[in-house]
Amino acid sequence: MFLRGSVSSLLRAQVHCLLTRSAHSVAVVGAPFSQGQKKKGVEYGPAAVREAGLLKRLSILGCHLKDFGDLSFTKVPKDDPYNNLVVYPRSVGLANQELAEVVSRAVSDGYSCVTIGGDHSLAIGTISGHARHRPDLCVIWVDAHADINTPLTTVSGNIHGQPLSFLVRELQDKVPTLPGFSWVKPCLSSPSIVYIGLRDVDPPEHFILKTYDIQYFSMREIDRLGIQKVMEQTLDLLIGKRQKPIHLSFDIDAFDPKLAPATGTPVVGGLTYREGVYISEEIHKTGLLSALDLVEVNPQLVTSEEEAKATASLAVDVIASSFGQTREGGHIVYDHLPTPSSPDESEPKERVRI
């Protein structure tokens, strides 16, 4: 049940944030990591999103930028599967440990941290690093998939389909400690997560969502309610009673493959451009966005350069909309119009011949 009073207070808080916020300080971290799954190419996602103009777009919006560049992750020479199934556990664990340190430092220094992946296993590191300084954070997970299989329920063996299982406290008696994962501490409670855009959920994941009462809005709910109502209910659930930092974890495959073809696990029937950007716009309006992941752009999985560029440009729009870009145009802060310094300047300098 969603009470009118709590929604009204949320809207008042949004207006207050809009009126009082200063320019965003944004840290950008490239995470060219692909071993949370088996397809090559997603490690080129950060470069593709940068080439699509991310930094310039954020600068135009008036953001104060700190670019950490693209990280170089430590190589693990021998990384046998866990349980003869879960691939690259040590590589994933170590890369996320290194990423968590960078995200933690950025958040500690007062930046909203944008991490460009790379595959979605990177959320283990981004959320862990974020939670060290914002332990009350909440997560909006925009994705075609739930990514909450455990190492014991996964069929694919890919850790990019498991990241949330390592982070949710209520699941810890169901999750074994993988090699390389001893540093990971569960930092989320199930009521602090909302999914948007689900349409390919494995049976064990569906059981987890229902058993642990994790809120989700599948594409069916988006069709039924509309994206405006979905966002109202999402924000009321997460921050309606108390303002909390928001971690937006956005998998580009949440969009329909016609819009975002350059991704590893596309699923038909996804978000439209307007629905995806509206999610970011509404999160921006809260003034509470503290960290953002944009993952799973894979420019090598398409047949044309145009498709790769379209997917990367879509990723830039999602990020820019999270920091103030509007569909009327991305405007810098502009609070006055210039006036002529003397009457002569407003008069024509040439005589008009009749």
Spatial separation of the C-alpha atoms in residues 84 and 152, rounded to whole Å:
11
Spatial separation of the C-alpha atoms in residues 103 and 109, rounded to whole Å:
10
- Give pTM, 2 decimals: 0.89
**From the first residue on, what is the mean pLDDT of each consecutive set of 10 residues in the chain (354 residues)?**
45 42 84 99 99 98 98 96 98 99 99 99 99 99 99 99 99 98 98 99 99 99 99 98 98 99 99 99 98 99 98 99 87 76 60 58
| Residue 133: count of CB within 10 angstroms of its CB | 17
Q: Are 153 and 204 in contact (CB under 8 A)?
A: yes
Any catalytic annotation for residue 173?
no
Any catalytic annotation for residue 120?
yes
Compute φ and ψ for 23, nearest 5 degrees.
Answer: -60, 145
Residue carrying structure tokens 């689900």: 198
Task: Catalytic residue, from 43, 79, 119, 147: name it.
Answer: 147
Q: Are 290 and 107 in contact (CB under 8 A)?
A: yes
pLDDT of res. 9: 47
Radius of gyration of the chain (CA): 22
Any catalytic annotation for residue 143?
yes
Task: Catalytic residue, from 24, 43, 119, 145: name it.
Answer: 145
Spatial separation of the C-alpha atoms in residues 129 and 215, rounded to whole Å:
24
Q: Is 251 annotated as a binding residue?
A: yes
Q: Is 202 annotated as a binding residue?
A: no
Q: Is 253 annotated as a binding residue?
A: yes
Q: Are 29 and 130 in contact (CB under 8 A)?
A: no
Task: Catalytic residue, from 120, 130, 247, 284: name it.
Answer: 120
Any catalytic annotation for residue 296?
yes
Q: Is 133 annotated as a binding residue?
A: no
